[in-house]
Amino acid sequence: MIEIRELSKSFGTRKVLDKVSFEVGASEVVFVLGKSGVGKSVLLKNIVGILEPDSGSVRIESKTVTSDRAVLKEIRKTCGMVFQFPALIDSLSVKENLKLGLRGHQTLDSEASMNEKAISTLKLCGLPESLLEKFPADLSFTMQKRVSVARALALDPKFLLFDEPTTGLDPVLTAQTNELIRHLAKVSRVGIIVVSHDMTSAIHFAHKIILLEEGRVAFSGGGEEFRKSKVPLAVSFLKEAHVF
Amino acid sequence: MSSNYFVAGIQEIGQVAIFFTRLTGIFFRKGVRIRDIVHQMFEAGVRSVPITVTSGLFVGAIMAIQINEQLKDFGAQSFLGGLTTSVTIRDVGPVLIGFLLSGKVGAYTIAELGTMKVTDQVAALECLGIDALEFIVLPRLVAVFISSFLLLVVGLTLTVFGGAYFSMLALQINVQNYMNNVPQLITTASIVVGVVKSLLFGMLIGVISCYKGYTTVGGAEGVGKSVKNGSVLILVWIVILDFGISTLSRLIQEIFGVL
């Protein structure tokens, strides 16, 4: 389980997160919504220890996220992150990008098993094996994004954090990505946090929706509750997305 | 206000020193992959050869013109080759070529690392259990250092040819005459000073460009700021370091009678 307790983070005088608390269990899909710049990505970066909170804590599988590199490495083995940008290493082929985490966390010891894993995760994300020897520059943005999802999945994480996974994707790929998220949660029992603006997906398959407003949790509950919510920001989000 | 800048400057020097110490520690503990260095040397170094060749030849030519103007008044043009070569190798050459490399190799490295930082490639590596300093920064530091040093040496060598060729072409001075008193004025010490400057400027370009790139924040605008600030910082430190080495070599000459 991921337990976020009273998490606060400021940049200079600007308070981005203000005592944010919620939990994510195995197989659970939690959508974090909010206006642009409200601190959604900052929240994810605090969870995996890329940023350090000013106060509050994050616990993943009973381990507290600290700045200690050894602890962080252990935590990041179980909790992967897919960034808003594909964040693939340009000088490495798709195959080498996919094997980065396996090398870094030393989860598999032979090249053959790493290659096998790279192929299977690529296929899981709906990408052909022929991409393995290509370089990120040879791929479209949407393909790069899916490779970055495959790279995070190669580690078989217990938790996955997605930072706007469907931004820039066409409706077909958006649906495929959402289906993959749903599959991971249901079949592989991965706990998932999705930062997104995709209201329709949030309403339809989030177990929990967290709405952030001015750094605070303005709403926390299921999709159906969100739809009926009277919180002004929730109402305006539903209205803009034409979801009633 | 100015004291704030001073404190910030001192802080930054400290941070650069810590950054360099961390990278040195990784280098001695874990080494660095030769394949990555070669790749980076090609990207940052080999592609800078044309600009270094061009600038080296022209720096030599410019120095020959300027020094010839002074010597002409005293009828001492026979010293042109020696003086031009000496001044260029010891001082002007490393500084000018260092300036050009800060704009080419330094700016390229800052922009590349900065882009990797703001597009979360660095954070992604950390999440995948890879030490970004070891994986992407150290190979660049070593490659930039070696490339800059070699380019400076190549550039300095070409300043001699540039000066000699231009003197023959435009000043009608025979190459034989130009080169005659070069051995008199160019001592081993002059070459040592030029090489030491090249080594230190190479290291300076590597450390500052890697540090500035790695600490970039704030998206595309942040990358632009890092490139601008980093390039200027390299220029300023090249001048300061040049002054320091020149002063030190003069002191060594006075005290020990060498250099």
Q: B127–A151: do the CB atoms touch at under 8 Å?
A: no
pLDDT range class, residue B1, cuts 50, 70, 90:
low
pLDDT of A174: 84
Nearest-CA distance A108 → chain B (Å): 13
pLDDT of B92: 86
pLDDT of B5: 81
Nearest-CA distance B128 → chain A (Å): 4
Q: What average pLDDT does range A11-35 have in this prediction? A: 92
Residue B149: both structure tokens together:
């040093």
Q: A151–B123: do the CB atoms touch at under 8 Å?
A: no
pLDDT range class, residue B79, cuts 50, 70, 90:
confident
Nearest-CA distance A89 → chain B (Å): 7
What is the SS3 assignment for A24? strand
**Does residue B257 have a pLDDT over 80?**
no
Distance of CA B195 to the CA centre of its chain: 11
pLDDT of A134: 95
pLDDT of A193: 95
Q: A88–B121: do the CB atoms touch at under 8 Å?
A: yes
Q: Is A187 left (phi over 0), alpha (psi -120 to 50) or beta?
A: alpha
Nearest-CA distance A17 → chain B (Å): 18
Query: How many C-beta neighbours within 10 Å does residue B53 have?
Result: 15
**Residue A100 with chain B: CB contacts under 8 Å:** 125, 128, 130
Among B119, B121, B128, the residue with its CB nearest the CB of A104 is: B128
Q: B124–A81: do the CB atoms touch at under 8 Å?
A: yes
Residues B27-73: tens digit of each pLDDT: 999 988 888 899 888 887 888 899 899 989 999 999 999 999 888 88
Residues 122-161 of A with CB under 8 A from B: 148, 151-152, 155
DSSP codes joined into one string, chain B: -HHHHHHHHHHHHHHHHHHHHHHHHHHHHH---HHHHHHHIIIIIGGGHHHHHHHHHHHHHHHHHHHHHHHHHTT-GGGHHHHHHHHIIIIIHHHHHHHHHIIIIIHHHHHHHHHHHHTTHHHHHHHTT--HIIIIIHHHHHHHHHHHHHHHHHHHHHHHHHHHHHHHHHS---HHHHHHTHHHH--HHHHHHHHHHHHHHHHHHHHHHHHHHHT--SHHHHHHHHHHHHHHHHHHHHHHHHHHHHHHHHHHHHHHS--
pLDDT range class, residue A242, cuts 50, 70, 90:
low
Nearest-CA distance B140 → chain A (Å): 13
pLDDT of B201: 92
* pLDDT more than 70, % of chain B: 98
Q: A87–B120: do the CB atoms touch at under 8 Å?
A: yes
Residues 90-149 of B with CB under 8 A from A: 119-121, 123-130, 136
**Does residue A82 have a pLDDT over 70?**
yes
pTM greater than 0.95 (yes/no): no
User: What distance in Å separates the CA atoms of residue B174 and residue B195, rounded to the nearest whole number?
Assistant: 28
Q: A83–B125: do the CB atoms touch at under 8 Å?
A: no
Residues B119-168: tens digit of each pLDDT: 999 999 999 999 999 999 999 999 989 998 898 889 888 998 999 999 88
pLDDT range class, residue B175, cuts 50, 70, 90:
confident
